[in-house]
Amino acid sequence: MSHNQCVQCKGRGFCGRPACPILEKFRSIESYATASKGVTSIFGASPPAIFIGRHDYPSVMSGPMVPPDMSRNESSMLEDPKQLLGMNIDQIIAARSMLVRAGARMKVKDAADPKDPLLLKSQELALSMTPVDTEVWFNKPLSNKLKFDSVLTPMGPSGDLKDMDIAENPDVPKKVDYLVYDDDALAKDVVSELNSSNISQEHITRLLSIGLLGKERKLVPTRWSITAVDDMLGKEMLRKVRDNTLISNIMLFSGGAFGNHFEILLIPRAFSYELIEIWMPRAVWSGGSTWIGADGEGTEGKKGYSILTGGYYAARLGVLEYLNSIRRQATVFMIREIRPDYWAPLGVWVIREAVRNALQKPPQKFESIDTALSEMSSRIHTPAGSWRQKASLIDELKYQKTLDFFL
């Protein structure tokens, strides 16, 4: 197995094996929901969370995620990136492994006209902003395997959903209640309206995933819906950012989370974006060697799915939110160095939050791109010689003059 392939695939099965050996290694971590082993029903407050699988699409495993015996006060943190950010990797895995995935096979198109009571109840659960006491029954006693993925946050054992019951009324924000009944609006417009009404991104993703948004409603596998929302929100924000005036200085931000180190360079030029991903040896997907990949977009936008997968869109959203908030425009050159301390895949929320985090710190300002680049390289462990030639955007900026230079 070539480790280069692992970094690019991140568990999508490119090697042809039935299960990803890297992810399999994490699955054997003992679930902290040990009490759930062997039981056929559980009761607890769902954060709320639902899970839609992607195997055998368009007939997918769908249903709620419920932490056994957990109270509403405790369970809300399981889906809240801000709270997860305050833990270490072991604590996150421990906490998230409490979430038992209860799934039944459903056709994705059933969401357009839901009749299955399991789907209707899952949708009702997804509407809630706060945890909801939920009881689920299984056809077979629960096993004890966890789920890991590059885009998804880790999850606990899964069970074959037989029946479910919501023990209380979900707490549905007015805006959500109103927009899920609008089946004339396009999903992308509803997603951005929910976002500007301060509905959390996890909530929006949950609604999209369970088929409650837009015109042609479908169940959307959780992994896809996370990136779809990152992409839709990013594109919407970019529309506004393109009309903003340029930043006045070259600015460099630095920061990270869980061994994901970010250097974010903002240059006073029209928005374009380049991300260089450096997987150091012994980080999750890289095995024994370094892997470096780059992807980006110019003024014409991104076509097709990024070779850097979901992280590309999560990082782009983080930086567009920042530009939108300061009402400015810039070219963005970003390096993400993944270090060995990132030993288990935690999901793309890590990237989104690490970028947001770095952009909250005061930036360093520079006179030239070259001095900013050498400052960046001093904090990147991997020698500049191995990533510098992948940065095609930087060269384009250095060599192509703009017309305002001649005013």
Partner 1 sequence: MFKATIDADILKSSIETLSVLVDEARFRISTEGLSVRAVDPANVAMVSFELAASAFTDFAADDCEIGMDLTKVNDIFGVAEKNEKATLELDELSQKMSIYIGGFSYTLSLLDPSTIRAEPRIPQLELPAEVVLNGKELQKAVKAAEKISDHMSLGVDGDIFYMEAEGDTDKVRLEMPRDQLIDLRSGEARSLFSLDYLSDIVKPASKSNEVTLELGKDYPIKIGFTIAEGAGKISYLLAPRIESD
Residues in contact with partner 1 by the rule CB under 8 A? 242-243, 269-270, 272, 298-299, 395, 398-407
Residues 6 or more apart in contact with residue 170 via CB below 8 angstroms? 48, 124, 125, 127, 128, 132
DSSP β-bridge partners for residue 29: none
> H/E element holding 42?
strand 41-46
Yes or no: say if 311 and 39 are a contact pair by the CB < 8 Å rule: no
Q: Judged by CB, which is closer to partner 1: 25, or 242?
A: 242
Q: Judged by CB, which is closer to partner 1: 181, or 405?
A: 405
Report the nearest approach of partner 1 to the CB of residue 369 (Å). 12
- The separation between CA 66 and the C-alpha centre of its own chain, rounded to angstroms, equals 20
Cα–Cα distances (Å) from 234 to 11, 79, 81, 280, 333, in that order, read 25, 21, 18, 28, 16
Please tell me the distance from the alpha carbon of residue 155 to that of residue 153, in angstroms, as a whole number.
6
Tokens for 128? 């809630």
Report the nearest approach of partner 1 to the CB of residue 389 (Å). 13
Q: Judged by CB, which is closer to partner 1: 83, or 299?
A: 299
Report the nearest approach of partner 1 to the CB of residue 103 (Å). 44
Q: Judged by CB, which is closer to partner 1: 180, or 393?
A: 393
Q: Judged by CB, which is closer to partner 1: 46, or 329?
A: 329
Yes or no: say if 339 and 283 are a contact pair by the CB < 8 Å rule: yes
Whether the upstream peptide bond of residue 48 has omega within 30° of 0, thus cis, is yes
Report the nearest approach of partner 1 to the CB of residue 269 (Å). 7
Report the nearest approach of partner 1 to the CB of residue 403 (Å). 5
Report the nearest approach of partner 1 to the CB of residue 201 (Å). 27
